[in-house]
Amino acid sequence: MTGAATGDGPALLKVTGLKTHFPIRKGVLAHVTGQVYAVDGVSFEIRRGETFGLVGESGCGKTTVGKTVLRLIEPTAGSIEFEGRDITRIAKEEMRRLRQRMQIIYQDPYSSLNPRMKAADIVGEPLKVHKIVSGGALRERVEALFERVGLRPEQLDNYPHQFSGGQRQRIGIARALALSPSLIVGDEPVSALDVSIQAQVINLLMDLQEDYELSYLFIAHDLAVVEHISQRIGVMYLGRIVELTDKRTLFSNPLHPYSEALLSAVPIPDPGVTREGRVILTGDVPSPINPPEGCHFHARCPYATERCRMESPSLKEVEPDHWVSCHLHEGNVADATELRPERT
């Protein structure tokens, strides 16, 4: 299976050939005049206790993958298996119950928290809605969650604007944890925070993962952010995963030219060390309304050939657990590396 999780235990989440297309409607009769190919055939697995990082520039479809996995957006095709069960087409009511086990943390902690609700009510809301606890027990549970994410119980009755950005994200994490989920989708959960606060929140997420055997689908545009927390990483470009492997392999031996470019933009902590052969990406991600023929990356790729403009590469396992979608890497990796032309 493409992007299969390796290591112990069965996959908690298995996504196969996922497509999410949005119709473009025009005119009074709202005729469909085209499609936005936001997610166009994505497959990966996440096992229990694992973090799978999904990276790519904005507009590549990674957030849509996260929301489709939770069925907050309906998939167009493909399948989503969660805890061994196909949830792709189960009824909304059943999905609502199941969603207790699948939570999301959003990018902007401020806009995702109701400014008119006290922090205690925000964190306790899912427990109330799902009728899990009430009254004094609810307050106690919320207090415990507050402390677990590093907030003080005295802050329970404060409103979101009385917290810092990092603290607001901790409230979002406490709310996501309230229903004891097994999977949390983090949609750019630290991107809006200062770098020093980012590290604190990532460390908190890692501690919680260890305590509760949580699995994360961690979505970010920045490889440096997913590096610390992820075991495996999928690199997305224009609705598709173009490279998928474990973190160490991706950082030491990126094979897709797009991964190479993303990676060469990651700063090296040691000021005395520079990255050789830095790849600067030019241009923007093309529109998912009208994706280019052939390889979607060809207009920005320093290695593009005529074949790349005509023929779309498929995602292939070029070495154990290392999947790449590029004509330069088909079959034997050593041969493909030799085939790589000099960058111009």
- Cα–Cα distance measured from residue 152 to residue 121, given in angstroms and rounded to the nearest whole number: 15
| Total residue length of the chain | 344
CB of 267 to ligand SF4, least distance (A): 24
Measured from the CB atom, the residue of 47 and 298 that comes closer to ligand SF4 is 298
Enumerate residues 37-96 that contact ligand SF4 by CB under 6 A.
none
In the block, residue with structure tokens 């925000």: 122
Measured from the CB atom, the residue of 47 and 300 that comes closer to ligand SF4 is 300
Burial of 19: CB neighbours in 10 Å, binned 0-12, 13-18, 19+: middle
* Torsion over CA: 168, 169, 174, 176 (sign): positive
Please state, as a whole number, how many other Cβ atoms lie within 10 Å of the Cβ of residue 149.
22
Measured from the CB atom, the residue of 9 and 341 that comes closer to ligand SF4 is 341
- In the list 301, 318, 322, 323, the residue contacting ligand SF4 (rule: CB under 6 A) is 301
CB of 295 to ligand SF4, least distance (A): 3
In the block, residue with structure tokens 């088909």: 330
Q: Are strands 183-187 and 102-105 parallel, antiparallel or unpaired?
A: parallel
Tell me the two tokens of residue 51. Answer: 């973090």
**Contact between residue 68 and residue 18 where contact means Cβ atoms under 8 Å apart:** yes
Enumerate residues 219-278 that contact ligand SF4 by CB under 6 A.
256-257
- In the list 104, 184, 295, 315, the residue contacting ligand SF4 (rule: CB under 6 A) is 295
304 binds ligand SF4 (CB under 6 A): yes
Residues 6+ apart with CB under 8 A from 104: 66, 67, 70, 72, 176, 184, 185, 186, 187
Enumerate residues 305-334 that contact ligand SF4 by CB under 6 A.
308, 313, 326-328
Tell me the two tokens of residue 109. Answer: 């902690």
Please name the amino acid found at residue 258: Y
In the block, residue with structure tokens 């920005």: 300
- In the list 71, 168, 298, 322, the residue contacting ligand SF4 (rule: CB under 6 A) is 298
Tell me the two tokens of residue 342. Answer: 């000099």
DSSP state of 228: H
First to last CA, the chain: 36
Q: Which stretch binds ligand SF4 (CB under 6 A): 106-114, 117-125, 155-163, 293-301?
A: 293-301
CB of 60 to ligand SF4, least distance (A): 14
CB of 166 to ligand SF4, least distance (A): 38
Please name the amino acid found at residue 305: T
CB of 303 to ligand SF4, least distance (A): 4
CB of 278 to ligand SF4, least distance (A): 17
Measured from the CB atom, the residue of 202 and 301 that comes closer to ligand SF4 is 301
- In the list 297, 315, 322, 323, the residue contacting ligand SF4 (rule: CB under 6 A) is 297
Q: Which stretch binds ligand SF4 (CB under 6 A): 54-62, 81-89, 180-188, 295-303?
A: 295-303
Q: Which stretch binds ligand SF4 (CB under 6 A): 118-126, 131-139, 172-180, 303-311?
A: 303-311
- Cα–Cα distance measured from residue 331 to residue 335, given in angstroms and rounded to the nearest whole number: 8
Nearest one of 235, 254, 121, 215 to 175, comparing CA atoms: 121
Measured from the CB atom, the residue of 190 and 279 that comes closer to ligand SF4 is 279
Q: Which residues bind ligand SF4 (CB under 6 A)?
A: 256-257, 295, 297-298, 301, 303-304, 308, 313, 326-328
